[in-house]
């Protein structure tokens, strides 16, 4: 077996065996397979695709390249996880995980940082004073036992093959291959050991998957890999044609999540939070999706979900008072209100450009180890479907860094499409696919 033969087989459209995929993956991690040969294989996969069995084999090889965890064995209860393919204003983990914890389901959540215009859960949580996201394994399990969920940064020993392969994909224009996206996402989820996995597949302008058909193909691929790996999985296709909720940033998204847990969520955020939570609860055996929808609503309305978030924040070293006294999260030194220059209905908000403006204000990092400003971000006063009068405030731009606020204001105004007619309402949940 040689790398040359395997590349040639895939280039000609052949189906690779599990042994061939493992040979290439293990060899690349150990530096026995050079970058140029792995690049050739990735390009062949990009052109010719992979069967579900091939994708599952690649996922398994990536999982086995590093540490794996079995939290259910340590916790004595089924564990469920969720993953988002990335969007703008996505603070769902901060709402859905407490809801599920309040319903008696353990959520051991390993999350990432933001890079570019999409945010990361770890960055959002670290805007809470004192909160630690670098936990030892024993600390992580202890927090889950006591609070019902914990959120920790991913360790460097988790799926090292993905980290190495992704860097190569990024440099060789092979990022948008659905089998490669699927194996990247699912390898991390399978390595963390949850029996049930809910994938939030974002669709639209602010998402990686810009169109519905590609999102559907990705969701189908991930569900097949989960089934072949012996895991339960649901995929929820969700709208990302506009930012989720009314806040984009770090501290501002923590505030919006806290308000959602107090019963003050915008309609789209509420709909999606309940839908994702219900899928997670159903995979954990708490009942049918309809029964779990009612469980999620009750956990939210009763205040039990908010209490779960407060407990998790406290156990991870943060100040839970920051979920009530928002000044503890920091106050931006520069706030710019942007008003409308015309009357009409808001028919669209450019989602990806919203993320880029938040990035320009300091809410994200433009390179891997860059700093972020936790107070920076955007708060919308109006959303799609709202009627706006000339002179009314469209939103606020926030930062504590030295930024070009005039340019940010000009760009922010350009986000909005305004018309004389009201737009057709688009649901937050587009489709749910269950294994």
3-state SS class at 248? strand
Q: Give 118's DSSP letter.
A: B
Residue 86's H or E segment, with its range, is: none
First and final CA of the chain: distance in angstroms? 36
DSSP letters, 179-238, are: HHHHHHHHHHHHHTT-SEEEEEEEESTTSSB-SHHHHHHHHHHHHHHHHHTT-EEEEEEE
Catalytic residue among 113, 124, 169, 189: 169
In terms of residues, how long is the chain? 435
Is 83 catalytic? The answer is yes
Catalytic residue among 82, 164, 188, 396: 188
Catalytic residue among 81, 162, 200, 239: 162
Catalytic residue among 60, 65, 177, 184: 184
Is 324 catalytic? The answer is no
Is 11 catalytic? The answer is no
In degrees, to the nearest 5, what angle opens at C-alpha 295 toward C-alphas 428 and 92? 40
Residues facing 433 on adjacent strands: 235
Catalytic residue among 10, 22, 82, 83: 83
The pair of three-digit structure tokens given for residue 334, joined into one six-digit string: 């520069």
Is 184 catalytic? The answer is yes
Is 113 catalytic? The answer is no
Distances (CA, A) of 197 to 113, 171, 284, 434: 20, 30, 10, 11
Q: Which residues are known catalytic residues?
A: 83, 162, 169, 184, 188
């Amino acid at each position: 077996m040689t790398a040359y033969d395997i590349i040639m087989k895939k280039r000609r459209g052949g189906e690779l065996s599990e042994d061939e995929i493992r040979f290439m993956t293990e060899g690349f991690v150990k530096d026995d397979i050079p970058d140029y040969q792995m690049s050739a294989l990735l390009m062949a996969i990009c052109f010719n695709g992979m069967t579900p069995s091939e994708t599952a084999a690649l996922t398994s090889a990536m999982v086995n390249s590093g540490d794996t965890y079995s939290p259910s064995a340590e916790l004595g209860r089924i564990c469920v996880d969720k993953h988002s393919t990335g969007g703008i204003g996505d603070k769902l983990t901060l709402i859905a995980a407490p809801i599920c914890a309040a319903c008696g389901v353990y959520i051991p959540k390993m999350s990432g940082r933001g890079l570019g215009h999409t945010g990361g859960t770890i960055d959002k949580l670290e805007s809470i004073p004192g909160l630690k996201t670098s936990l030892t394994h024993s600390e992580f399990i202890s927090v889950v036992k006591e609070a019902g969920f914990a959120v920790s940064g991913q360790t460097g020993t988790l799926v090292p093959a993905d980290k190495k392969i992704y860097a190569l994909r990024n440099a060789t224009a092979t990022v948008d291959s659905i089998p490669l996206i699927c194996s990247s996402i699912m390898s991390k989820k399978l390595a963390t050991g949850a029996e049930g996995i809910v994938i939030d597949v974002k669709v639209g302008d602010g998402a990686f998957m810009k169109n519905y058909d590609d999102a559907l193909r990705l969701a189908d691929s991930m569900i097949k890999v989960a089934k072949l790996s012996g895991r339960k999985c649901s995929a929820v296709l969700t709208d990302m044609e506009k930012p989720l909720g009314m806040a984009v940033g770090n501290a501002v998204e923590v505030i919006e999540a806290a308000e959602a847990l107090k019963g003050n969520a915008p309609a789209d955020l509420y709909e999606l939070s309940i839908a994702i939570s219900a899928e997670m609860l159903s995979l954990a055996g708490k009942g049918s999706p309809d029964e779990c929808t009612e469980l999620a609503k009750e956990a939210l309305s009763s205040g039990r979900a908010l209490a779960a978030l407060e407990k998790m924040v406290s156990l991870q070293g943060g100040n839970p008072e920051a979920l009530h006294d928002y000044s503890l999260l920091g106050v931006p030194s520069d706030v710019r209100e942007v008003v409308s220059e015309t009357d009409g209905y808001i028919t669209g908000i450019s989602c990806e450009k919203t993320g880029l403006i938040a990035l320009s204000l300091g809410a994200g990092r433009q390179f891997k180890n860059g700093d972020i400003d936790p107070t920076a971000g955007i708060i919308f006063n109006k959303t799609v479907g709202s009627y706006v009068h000339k002179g009314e405030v469209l939103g606020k731009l926030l930062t504590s860094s030295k930024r070009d606020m005039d340019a940010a204001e000009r760009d922010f105004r350009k986000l909005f499409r305004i018309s004389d007619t009201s737009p057709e309402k688009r649901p937050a949940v587009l489709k749910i696919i269950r294994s």
